């Protein structure tokens, strides 16, 4: 008896663009690979170079050794790469004291925030840092200045609780991977209470975070569900999921790999949105699309809201010699 072939239900996938790797992530990964090529393994990397297990495991297979603290690296001239999130000033100082070969993979847009905070501090201003407590980028930014020079602000309620003299000189900077809308609310609350506060000349939330959130805002209202490809500890990926939820998407989920999909949440779909956090490689997006193609008759439509052409060069010590 011939079996009747199962007819797959149709599914339109709206693929957000831009999505996935940003210039800072590409540079950070390239730095580790260039260091492995130049110096050979092992190359020590303090903290996950970017927040994605797939990327970390791929670099580990090539000879990168991931450590959480500098004292896990042996004494001597072993290369140690600092992650894209940035580190407190005490970390490179400790590396120099031990003669380690320190290579800084901090995203240049994070470094921009560090420099802004330093300038405000030199000018006598208390720095308000809008960000998430404990995130490596926030730890790194606060660690650029002496204790007490930076006050962390997470919510508008934190602004209301500030107890400062009316004549205190203030400035604010932000983590680069925040929700654009949430941050606008916190900034507005700061400006209402402290109209003379100094802000960045150009917003600190990076172009990649902004662009990926804008694409999700465009797509989410048209979808029955939306998947953000990314890691649980990735701030920019978590914000994309929240943006989709707020934009009216009934189901928005953060998924690391296709094997993590809870299929009970993705039945009876007609339209699915897919995007990826700035530290998620495109191969994982393709994996997700393939998983849906096994269950649905998929058509893919690209929804683009911005073109990105940003490029950050490698640090000088890893650039190929001039011809």
Cα–Cα distance measured from residue 270 to residue 279, given in angstroms and rounded to the nearest whole number: 28
**Looking at the predicted structure, is the pLDDT value of residue 287 above 90?**
yes
Strand partners, 45: 66, 81
Final residue of a domain: which of 80, 107, 134? Answer: 107
The answer to whether residues 102 and 56 belong to one domain is yes
Structural domain including 131 reads 109-193
105-137 pLDDT, tens digit per residue, is 999 999 999 999 999 999 999 999 999 999 999
In a domain, 200, yes or no: no
Same domain, 88 and 119: no
Q: Encoding tokens for residue 59?
A: 């670099």
Q: Of 193, 223, 251, which residue constitutes the final position of a domain?
A: 193
Instruction: Give the C-alpha separation, 308 to 323, whole Å.
Output: 29
Number of domains within the chain: 3
What confidence score (pLDDT) does residue 323 get? Answer: 47
Average confidence (pLDDT) over 252-274:
96
CA 177, 181, 182, 183 torsion: positive or negative? positive
What pLDDT is recorded for position 204? 87
Query: For residue 314, is it within any domain?
Result: no
Considering 78, 107, 136, which residue would you say is the last residue of a domain?
107
In this predicted structure, the answer to whether residue 299 has a pLDDT above a threshold of 60 is yes
Same domain flag for 85 and 127: no
DSSP structure string for 51-67:
S-HHHHHHHHHHTEEEE
Residues involved in catalysis: 137
User: Quick check: 192 pLDDT over 70?
Assistant: yes
pLDDT tens track for 30-57 = 999 999 999 999 999 999 999 999 999 9
If we measure between CA atoms, which residue out of 205, 258, 206 comes closest to residue 27? 206
Within a domain: residue 311? no
Q: Find the mean pLDDT for residues 187-203.
A: 93
Read off the pLDDT of residues 264-280 as tens digits, 9 standing for 90 and up. Answer: 999 999 999 999 999 99
Q: How far apart are CA 134 and CA 273, in angstroms?
A: 30
Q: Give the confidence band of 4 by pLDDT, cuts at 50, 70, 90.
A: low
**Which is it for strands 150-153 and 170-174: parallel, antiparallel or unpaired?**
unpaired
């Amino acid at each position: 008896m011939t079996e009747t072939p199962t007819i797959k239900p149709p599914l339109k996938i709206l693929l957000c663009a831009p999505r996935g790797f940003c210039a800072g992530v590409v540079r950070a990964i390239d730095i580790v690979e260039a260091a492995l090529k130049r110096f050979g393994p092992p190359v020590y990397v303090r903290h996950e170079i970017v927040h994605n297990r797939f990327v970390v495991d791929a670099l580990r297979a090539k000879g990168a050794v991931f450590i959480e603290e500098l004292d896990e690296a042996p004494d001597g001239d072993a290369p140690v790469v600092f992650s894209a999130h940035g580190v407190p000033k005490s970390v490179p100082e400790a590396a120099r004291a031990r003669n380690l070969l320190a290579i800084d993979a901090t995203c240049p847009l994070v470094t921009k925030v560090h420099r802004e905070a330093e300038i405000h501090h030199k000018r006598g201003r208390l720095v308000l840092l809008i960000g998430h407590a404990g995130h490596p980028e926030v730890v790194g930014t606060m660690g650029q200045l002496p204790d007490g020079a930076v006050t962390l602000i997470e919510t508008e309620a934190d602004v209301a609780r500030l107890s400062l003299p009316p004549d205190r000189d203030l400035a604010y900077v932000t983590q680069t991977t925040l929700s654009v809308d949430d941050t606008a609310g916190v900034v507005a609350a700061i400006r209402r209470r402290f109209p003379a506060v100094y802000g960045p000349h150009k917003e600190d939330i990076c172009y990649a975070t902004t662009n990926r959130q804008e694409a999700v805002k465009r797509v989410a209202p048209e979808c029955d569900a939306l998947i953000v490809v990314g890691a649980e500890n990735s701030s920019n990926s978590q914000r994309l999921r929240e943006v989709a939820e707020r934009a009216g998407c009934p189901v928005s989920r953060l998924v690391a790999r296709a094997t993590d999909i809870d299929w009970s949440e993705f039945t009876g779909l007609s339209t699915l949105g897919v995007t990826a956090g700035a530290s998620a490689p495109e191969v994982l997006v393709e994996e997700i699309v393939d998983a849906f193609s096994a269950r649905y008759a998929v058509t893919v439509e690209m929804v683009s809201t911005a073109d990105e052409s940003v490029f950050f060069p490698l640090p000088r010590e890893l650039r190929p010699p001039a011809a």
